[in-house]
Chains A and B, each alone.
Chain A
Amino acid sequence: MKFGIATKMGLVLAIVGMLAAGITGFYVYRASRSLLVESAKGELLTATQVLARRITSARQEITRNLRIIAAQPEVLKVLDAADPQAADRLAVFFMSVMKANPGYFQMRLISVKNNGMERVRVDRDEHALLRIAPHDLQEKGHYAYVYETLGLPAGATYLSRIVINREVGAHSGFGQPTAQLATPIFDRQGKARGLVVISVDLNGVFDLLRADLPAEFQLFFANSDGDFLIHPDAGKTFGFDKGRRYFVYDEFPATKALVENKDAQIVTEVGAGRYAGNPVVAAFIAQRVVVASGEPSVILGLAQPLGSMVKQADRLGRVMAQLVAGLSLAAILLALILGRIVTRSINTMSNAVQAFTGSNTIEGLPLHSQDEIGVLARSFDRMQKQIRLQLAELEVSGRELQQLAYYDPLTSLPNRRLMMDRLQHTMANSLRHHRHGALLLLDLDNFKTLNDCLGHDAGDQLLVEVAKRLRASIREADSVARLGGDEFVLILDDLDDMGTAPMQVETIAAKLQRSLAEPYTIEIRERSGALTQHRHQCTSSIGIAMFSGHSVPAEELLKRADSAMYQSKAAGRNTLRFFGHDGPPPAVG
């Protein structure tokens, strides 16, 4: 397949344009994608920190509630067993607090006496609040949240380990992820008398937190050992309670640094295990528990599918791809137009040059173009002018050459060569049209004497004059030629029929002889340089050979005329003789 310049150039331009657009587009997409991911990671970490603060403030709110309860005068009255109605009032108060806080499973007042016997207890049971009857109250002294809280100063809060509540009889809270928050109660003597405990529904807390998160976000919560407490797959939570532990660092290896207290926050990308095929970016924060607690710290994490993070980047990528396609199309169009512009000038020139061979002229060259094409066109123009000039010169010299080849330079009469050609031509014509013709060979008498006496210049002047007179004497259809020296030939064509032709010829020949016999004026340049005029008279002898058709070759005819001319000379000059006759000759057959 052959491509024109326009195609090639267009192709190259289009490819360059498309490559430029494509590469730029690709790198812009890549850079913006990683920028987006980075900023999304930052946002994720911020979101996690916000969640962590909300957990803290949720905890602080519980602490406030604990302090409010601890400050109730009924609390000490119950512990002192001073006022039988005090427990009822406190229970009502517990209920009002629990009504306002659906995330509370249970509220209790526990005495330090009787092995940590509960004094007032309200449980959440499905949607109802249940005050536990005195005989159903339990001894809780052996639980860490009891003995640890009792060791705290007034106003302090204790946060238990977050576990599955296995305390039989806990109603809704039983079997649920629970944290106990407690504050000690002191009497006026500063003696620890008991504690107020709020059991918090961990799922409730996290459901509230989760409610504000986009659905694609996954929430994780782990204790300081790394055991999952909240996980999208509930089967992986509280593994220590079921005898099979699931650690956050098994799923997110980077969180090992949090469990080992080497780092406070990490952002990690995970595409293996649970996230194979659906990689996520996750931010984790290790938060120290500031209150006294069985949990030294907790780990909070948020994971977002990488796919949703780069969704914006992918949208940008699509816009980029469209832009690149558009630019490529523009590059192709531009390349086509440019190719057309360049090839149009070239085509104009090419057409102009092709026309040159036909007409020897180049027209329509873009001579006024200012670019390289214009320069080329002007060069072409100069070249064609040069060529035309040379062609003209060639024509002139050709004509001169022809003159030299076929004419006698002195008299400008056809020479022997042209005469022979014309003779053959005339003879052929006579054959075709059954006409008669005659060949007359004329020789000047005593020409040599003139040459010898007055010089060649004088002879030449005579020959020129003779030629002039011969030309003037013949019919237009007839030819006169100079054979050489003082010999001339005349070809007479289209004569009358055979009977009268010789007479007709004789008349013409006689007329010629009379014309030539008229005196000549010859100018001679003397040695002194002066010009003198001589009068000269001259006769001529003529030999005639008649022809009709092509019965004899032209050469033979010439010989016959020559022979007749010599007879004429022999007869005393200034005469004429027909070939083959002494008198007026018959026509030759």
Chain B
Amino acid sequence: MASAGETLRVLAWPGYADADLVKVFEQRSGAKVEVTLVDSDAALWQKISSNAAADFDVFAVNTAELQRYISAALVAPIDTRGMRNLARQLPRFRERKAIPGLMYGDQVFAIPYTYAEMGLIYDRAQIKTAPQSVHALWDPQYRGKLLAYNGGVHNFSLAAQALGLPNPFQLRTQDWPKVVHKLIDLRRNVLTFYAQPDESAETFKSRHAALLFANYGSQQVQLLKSAGVDVGYAIPGEGALAWLDCWVITRGAKNKKLATAWIDYFLETEPSNALVLRQGLSNTTSASPFTRATDRLVWLEPVEDVDRRTRLWERILAGDSVDKVLKP
């Protein structure tokens, strides 16, 4: 292959580019691959933006985060013509125009690779029929028996969904008091808010919780199942918030063909299965064991004001009243 002797510089999350998979790609392409791992959105942004994306050829980023890379022109459009494996993707990922932020005009900026949805986990012993809506989180019958996630950005979107607002990622000025009120109601209904998956599973089990907003999705399902709790997993009718990680090519990529080949390779059966089996994540080429094709997934989008959501959320969490939360 033409890329023999070249080096592909990859920036990825743990579990996205395991050594054995990388080796297969290296053997096929003849290129050498350097994988650098990141563990937070902030670290990813820092590494890509610090040298105008010149240090890496290809990286993985979620659709919400992706938008600022596109705005800063750190990523390049992808030429999908040679990518044979795109046809293997599930219909919801082939419809790239339907996923906000993937395309601008006719230009494709990202290829979906893996995703996780934030569904509702429920204890089958206490809840006989799967919850149909996010409203279940506000249901007084589960008061003190449900766990929500300690994260402002997602919780505001969740409350907006519950309120039936048109765009949960873009709150209008008039929406804020309603949403804050809704979140204070949530605070009063929950047992507690969790931060880590294992923490959530532990509390769910020890406190005999009935319902859980699964910020980490299927990972928490597996944790609870292995802890011996008989749980179900439901995607609410409003649609489950879901993050979607995509491969993107940097503006500074030295060999865009090689980077495209890398992305195409990770849509093959082996790497796709590795995501499910090793990471408990869903891939884009086979049906997820946790969701049905008809389930609605709401891909995360950049929100109107991360700082405001975070600041207000911290006040809500601390136990402040609506007035105090909404104070400037």
Cβ of B237 within 8 Å of any chain A Cβ, yes or no, is no
For residue A140, which residues in chain B have a CB less than 8 angstroms away from its CB?
319
Q: Is the CB of B192 within 8 A of A147?
A: yes
Which of B63-71, B183-191, B271-279 makes up part of the contact surface?
Answer: B183-191
Q: Is the CB of B187 within 8 A of A142?
A: yes
Q: Which of A169-195 contact B (CB under 8 A)?
A: 169-170
Instruction: Tell me how far the C-beta of B285 lies from the nearest C-beta in chain A, rounded to whole angstroms.
Output: 30
Q: Provide the bound-state CA to CA distance between A214 and B39, in Å.
A: 38
Cβ of A3 within 8 Å of any chain B Cβ, yes or no, is no
Cβ of A167 within 8 Å of any chain B Cβ, yes or no, is yes
Q: Is the CB of B318 within 8 A of A138?
A: yes
Q: Is the CB of B318 within 8 A of A168?
A: yes
Residue among A117, A168, A169 with the most chain B CB within 10 A?
Answer: A168
Q: Is the CB of B315 within 8 A of A139?
A: no
Cβ of A433 within 8 Å of any chain B Cβ, yes or no, is no
For residue A170, which residues in chain B have a CB less than 8 angstroms away from its CB?
318
For residue B319, which residues in chain A have a CB less than 8 angstroms away from its CB?
115-118, 138-142, 167
Q: Is the CB of A144 within 8 A of B314?
A: no
For residue A147, which residues in chain B have a CB less than 8 angstroms away from its CB?
144, 191-192, 207
User: Given A243-B39, A244-B39, are A169 and B192 also a contact pair (CB < 8 Å)?
Assistant: no
Name B318's closest neighbour in chain A (CB-CB): A168
A to B contact number (C-beta, < 8 Å): 55
Instruction: Tell me how far the C-beta of B213 lies from the nearest C-beta in chain A, rounded to whole angstroms.
Output: 13
Q: Which of B40, B192, B317 contacts A243 (CB 8 A)?
A: B40
Q: Is the CB of A142 within 8 A of B191?
A: yes
Q: Provide the bound-state CA to CA distance between A312 and B196, in Å.
A: 48
User: Given A139-B188, A147-B191, are A168 and B317 also a contact pair (CB < 8 Å)?
Assistant: yes
For residue B175, which residues in chain A have a CB less than 8 angstroms away from its CB?
none
Q: Which of B39, B40, B192 contacts A142 (CB 8 A)?
A: B192
User: Given A116-B319, A169-B318, are A143 and B192 also a contact pair (CB < 8 Å)?
Assistant: yes
Cβ of B320 within 8 Å of any chain A Cβ, yes or no, is yes
Q: Provide the bound-state CA to CA distance between A115 and B195, in Å.
A: 21
Cβ of A136 within 8 Å of any chain B Cβ, yes or no, is yes
For residue A166, which residues in chain B have a CB less than 8 angstroms away from its CB?
314, 317-318
Cβ of B225 within 8 Å of any chain A Cβ, yes or no, is no
User: Given A147-B144, A243-B39, are A138 and B192 also a contact pair (CB < 8 Å)?
Assistant: no
Q: Provide the bound-state CA to CA distance between A244 and B42, in Å.
A: 12
Cβ of B149 within 8 Å of any chain A Cβ, yes or no, is no
For residue A93, which residues in chain B have a CB less than 8 angstroms away from its CB?
none
For residue A118, which residues in chain B have a CB less than 8 angstroms away from its CB?
319
Cβ of A240 within 8 Å of any chain B Cβ, yes or no, is yes
Q: Is the CB of A142 within 8 A of B193?
A: yes
Name B147's closest neighbour in chain A (CB-CB): A142
Q: Provide the bound-state CA to CA distance between A141 and B319, in Å.
A: 8
Cβ of B324 within 8 Å of any chain A Cβ, yes or no, is yes
What DSSP secondary structure best describes chain A's contact surface?
loop
Name B192's closest neighbour in chain A (CB-CB): A142
Q: Which of B268-316 contact A (CB under 8 A)?
A: 314-315
Q: Provide the bound-state CA to CA distance between A1 and B251, in Å.
A: 81
For residue B318, which residues in chain A have a CB less than 8 angstroms away from its CB?
138, 166-170
Residue among B191, B207, B315, B319 with the most chain A CB within 10 A?
Answer: B319
Q: Is the CB of B188 within 8 A of A240?
A: no
Q: Is the CB of A139 within 8 A of B144?
A: no
User: Given A142-B191, A147-B191, are A240 and B314 also a contact pair (CB < 8 Å)?
Assistant: no
User: Given A143-B192, A147-B191, are A136 and B324 also a contact pair (CB < 8 Å)?
Assistant: yes
Instruction: Tell me how far the C-beta of B145 lies from the nearest C-beta in chain A, rounded to whole angstroms.
Output: 11
Instruction: Tell me how far the C-beta of B149 lies from the nearest C-beta in chain A, rounded to whole angstroms.
Output: 13
For residue A244, which residues in chain B have a CB less than 8 angstroms away from its CB?
39-40
Name B188's closest neighbour in chain A (CB-CB): A115
Q: Provide the bound-state CA to CA distance between A115 and B140, in Å.
A: 13
As a 0/1 sequence over residues 7 to 42 of chain B, the CB contacts with chain A under 8 angstroms (1 = contact) are 000000000000000000000000000000001100
Q: Provide the bound-state CA to CA distance between A359 and B195, in Å.
A: 115
Name B144's closest neighbour in chain A (CB-CB): A147
As a 0/1 sequence over residues 538 to 579 of chain A, the CB contacts with chain B under 8 angstroms (1 = contact) are 000000000000000000000000000000000000000000
Q: Which of A62-86 contact B (CB under 8 A)?
A: none
Q: Provide the bound-state CA to CA distance between A583 and B39, in Å.
A: 162
Name B40's closest neighbour in chain A (CB-CB): A243
Name B323's closest neighbour in chain A (CB-CB): A135
For residue B187, which residues in chain A have a CB less than 8 angstroms away from its CB?
115, 139, 142
Name B202's closest neighbour in chain A (CB-CB): A294
Q: Is the CB of B39 within 8 A of A168?
A: no
Q: Is the CB of A138 within 8 A of B190?
A: no
Q: Provide the bound-state CA to CA distance between A170 and B144, in Å.
A: 24
Name B186's closest neighbour in chain A (CB-CB): A142
Name B207's closest neighbour in chain A (CB-CB): A147
Name A243's closest neighbour in chain B (CB-CB): B40
Q: Is the CB of A138 within 8 A of B320?
A: yes
Q: Provide the bound-state CA to CA distance between A240 and B195, in Å.
A: 9
Instruction: Tell me how far the C-beta of B242 lies from the nearest C-beta in chain A, rounded to whole angstroms.
Output: 21
Q: Which of A104-120 contact B (CB under 8 A)?
A: 115-118
Q: Provide the bound-state CA to CA distance between A169 and B203, in Å.
A: 26
Q: Provide the bound-state CA to CA distance between A115 and B186, in Å.
A: 11
Name A140's closest neighbour in chain B (CB-CB): B319
Residue among B193, B207, B318 with the most chain A CB within 10 A?
Answer: B318
Instruction: Tell me how far the C-beta of B122 lies from the nearest C-beta in chain A, rounded to whole angstroms.
Output: 19
For residue B192, which residues in chain A have a CB less than 8 angstroms away from its CB?
142-144, 147
Name A142's closest neighbour in chain B (CB-CB): B192
Instruction: Tell me how far the C-beta of B326 lies from the nearest C-beta in chain A, rounded to whole angstroms.
Output: 14
Q: Provide the bound-state CA to CA distance between A135 and B321, in Å.
A: 9
Q: Provide the bound-state CA to CA distance between A147 and B188, in Å.
A: 12
Q: Which of B172-221 contact A (CB under 8 A)?
A: 187-188, 190-193, 195-196, 203, 207
Instruction: Tell me how far the C-beta of A160 lies from the nearest C-beta in chain B, rounded to whole angstroms.
Output: 12
Q: Is the CB of A141 within 8 A of B314?
A: no
As a 0/1 sequence over residues 141 to 171 of chain A, the CB contacts with chain B under 8 angstroms (1 = contact) are 1111001000000000000000000111110
Q: Provide the bound-state CA to CA distance between A167 and B187, in Å.
A: 14
For residue A144, which residues in chain B have a CB less than 8 angstroms away from its CB?
192, 203
For residue B317, which residues in chain A have a CB less than 8 angstroms away from its CB?
142, 166-168
For residue B193, which residues in chain A have a CB less than 8 angstroms away from its CB?
142
Q: Which of A116, A142, A169 contacts B320 (CB 8 A)?
A: A169
Name B193's closest neighbour in chain A (CB-CB): A142
Instruction: Tell me how far the C-beta of B211 lies from the nearest C-beta in chain A, rounded to whole angstroms.
Output: 14
Residue among A117, A135, A142, A169 with the most chain B CB within 10 A?
Answer: A142
| Extra contacts besides A144-B192, A169-B320 (17): CB < 8 Å | A115-B187, A115-B188, A135-B324, A136-B324, A138-B319, A138-B320, A139-B188, A139-B321, A142-B187, A142-B193, A142-B319, A147-B207, A166-B314, A168-B317, A169-B315, A240-B196, A243-B40
25 cross-chain CB contacts under 8 A:
A115-B319, A116-B319, A136-B324, A138-B320, A139-B188, A139-B319, A140-B319, A141-B188, A141-B319, A142-B187, A142-B188, A142-B193, A142-B317, A142-B319, A143-B192, A144-B203, A147-B144, A147-B192, A166-B318, A167-B317, A168-B314, A169-B315, A170-B318, A240-B195, A243-B40
Residues on A lying within 8 angstroms of B by beta carbon are 115-118, 135-136, 138-144, 147, 166-170, 240, 243-244
